[in-house]
Amino acid sequence: MPVYHVVLFRLKQGVTPAQLANWTKISQAMVGQIPGLRSLKTNPPLPISVPRAKGFDMGLVAILDKKEDVAVYAAHPAHLEVHKLREELCEDTLAYDLEFEE
């Protein structure tokens, strides 16, 4: 059963569009490097969601093959590189993993 890894990010003041573009590029490059990672997409919330977003201004949805792949993803060097960059750009995150039958 696939797992949806959902992460919300509250960006630090002053993060530039170029920094976000770089982070997105590096994040999406994890697909094909990390076993079990099917896809990864990032984007800001839709305008209709902003009032309910509680200050989170960027989101990520990664799809992994199975729940065991979440630990592989978390420990993989490519993810650790992205995680390090995230610490520079974000003041807070919220992560949530969901498993659905296909």
pLDDT at 44: 94
In tens, the pLDDT along 28-44 reads 999 999 999 999 999 99
DSSP string, the chain: --EEEEEEEEEPTT--HHHHHHHHHHHHTTTTTSTTEEEEEEEPPPGGGGGGSTT--EEEEEEESSTHHHHHHHHSHHHHHHHHHHHHHEEEEEEEEEE---
| pTM for this entry | 0.91
pLDDT at 18: 95
In tens, the pLDDT along 49-70 reads 999 999 999 999 999 999 999 9
Q: Which fold has domain 1-97?
A: Alpha-Beta Plaits (3.30.70)
